[in-house]
Amino acid sequence: MHTDLWNHALALYARPGVEEACLSVQALGGDVCLLLCATWLQGRGVALDAERAQALHAIAQPWQTQVVTPLRELRRQWRTAAQQDPHLAALREQVKGLELQAEKELLRRLEACAQQWPTGARGPADDWLAWLAPDQACGHDALERMRVAAAALQEAEDGD
pLDDT digits (tens, 9 = 90+) for 38-66: 999 999 999 999 999 999 999 999 999 99
Look at residue 124 and tell me whether its pLDDT is greater than 60.
no
For the chain, how many structural domains are there in total? 1
pTM: 0.92
Taking the C-alpha atoms of residue 96 and residue 99, their distance in angstroms, rounded to an integer, is 5
Instruction: Count the alpha carbons within 13 Å of 87 in the hemisphere toward its beta carbon.
Output: 0
Classified as helix, coil or strand, 14 is coil
- Residue closest to 145 by CA, chosen among 15, 4, 49, 48: 15
Quote the Cα angle for 50-21-122, to 5°.
40
Instruction: Provide long-range contacts, Cβ within 8 A and 24+ apart, for 71-75.
Output: 71/95, 71/98, 71/99, 71/102, 72/99, 75/99
- Which whole-number Å values give the CA distances from 33 to 6, 43, 109, 110, 158, in the listed order? 10, 15, 10, 9, 23
- Residue closest to 47 by CA, chosen among 126, 112, 133: 126
- Which whole-number Å values give the CA distances from 20 to 14, 117, 145, 148, 160, in the listed order? 10, 30, 9, 14, 27
Instruction: Give residue 122's pLDDT.
Output: 63
Taking the C-alpha atoms of residue 62 and residue 68, their distance in angstroms, rounded to an integer, is 9
Residue 44 lies in domain: 5-159
Look at residue 116 and tell me whether its pLDDT is greater than 80.
yes
Instruction: Give residue 120's pLDDT.
Output: 84
